[in-house]
Structure 1
Amino acid sequence: MTTRPLAVFDLDGTLADSSHRQHWLQRTPRDWKAFFAAATDDPPLAEGVALALRHAEDCEVGYLTGRPERCRRDTLTWLAQHGLPEGKLWMRPDNDRRPARHTKLEILRRIARDREIRHVVDDDELVCEACEKAGFPVIRARWATPSDTLRDAQQRAGRT
């Protein structure tokens, strides 16, 4: 039996609306613990969820997030509560503070050794550019309201 191709989805800003918790990142110092704890209350982004469900028809769906590993249980619960397809979840190690474009590309390259990656779906422009440069097909998640706070957290703070 042939393995189905993999469609890889980001979470924050792609499947989950994190705007209600970004205020935790606008203070100094940033309150990362509160920011990630509030992720359980993220509303789903309808466009992203619909795309994941469509991809599940002919692909295996997986999730690649910059959220730290300590958020695994809450993240899996959130995915199930919102009817997203079951799939592997790749997360950032708790102590990894590199920008998302580095951590995600490293994980994607590892996955691609054994799997065809049909698409990477992400809202982070720098992640999308790095993926395209590495030869991965990308769908830009442009359905969420852009956030300078989240962009800074993804790229400079290396936390999501």
Structure 2
Amino acid sequence: MREAEIFDVDGTLCDVSGVRHHVRGERRNFEAFHEAALGCPPHAWVVDGARAAAREGRAVVVVTARREHWRAGTSFWLALHDVPSDHLYLRGEHDGRPDVEVKRDVLAQVRQRYRVVRAWDDNPNVISLWESEGIDVVVVPGWDDEPSRP
């Protein structure tokens, strides 16, 4: 089985520090967050990690909890920032489960094709999932940072 590395999008490949205010507090607006995230810059060092994985012959598997209707925008963002991607997995359109549950199911699908050797993520709950599955994790800081003010 080919080796693979899993990369999250928001907060990991994509630096969403300037738009996290949309999903903090009581009035969370994920549509506004994802729309604004399309204009956010990459975390260059994480993108470099994806490029290095691809150069080493590993599959780059992008796994995001964004809803399916963000596929075109997410694919565009990945291409714009020259992020290699063998597969892009998104949350189903009507799937309201927590991110960790969505990613647990995606991992089962990914493991049918690849041997996952590393994951890159910023979400503590998802990081715990990867670690509990025996996957080395590169933790991207920023999840608990104070939100930026618009």
Q: Which consecutive residues of structure 2, in runs of 5 or more, have no partner in the other structure? A: none
Aligned to 1:108: 107
2:97 maps to amino acid: R
- What percentage of residue pairs aligned between the two structures are identical? 31
Q: 1:124 to 1:74 in 2, by over 3 A?
A: same
TM-score normalised by L of structure 1: 0.82
Shift of 1:147: 3.4
SS at match of 2:60: strand
Secondary structure of 1:91's partner? strand
- Across the two proteins, how many residue pairs are aligned to each other? 146
Shift of 1:145: 6.3
Q: Is the 8 A contact 2:122 2:143 kept in 1?
A: no
Whole-Å Cα distance in 1 between the matches of residues 143 and 130 of structure 2? 22
Counterpart residue identity of residue 12, structure 1: D
Aligned to 2:50: 52
Segments ≥4 residues shifted beyond 3 Å: 26-29, 144-149
Deviation at 1:118, TM superposition (A): 1.8
**Equivalent residue, structure 1, for 2:18:** 20
> Are 1:29 and 2:20 counterparts?
no
Q: Structure 1 pair 145/66, CA: closer, same or farther in 2 (3 Å)?
A: closer
Bigger fraction of residues in helix: 1
- Structure number with higher strand proportion: 2
Cα pair distance change 1:145/1:136, threshold 3 Å: closer
CA shift, 1:32, in A, is 2.1
- 2:7/2:62 contact within 8 Å kept: yes
Letter in 2 for 1:126: N
Distance in 1 (CA, whole Å) between partners of 2:95 and 2:83 is 27
SS in 2 for 1:116: strand
Q: Indicate if the aligned counterparts of 2:11 and 2:140 stay in contact, CA closer than 8 A.
A: yes
Q: Does 1:139 align with 2:135?
A: no
Give the alignment's TM-score, normalised by structure 2.
0.87
More deviation, 27-36/6-15:
27-36
Measure the CA separation in 2 of the matches of 1:22 and 1:33. Answer: 12
Q: Report the CA distance between 1:133 and its aligned residue.
A: 1.1
Q: CA deviation at 1:127?
A: 0.7
Distance 2:113 2:29 in 1: 38
In the TM superposition, residue 36 of structure 1 has moved relative to its aligned partner by 1.3
Unpaired runs of 5+ residues, structure 1, are 150-160
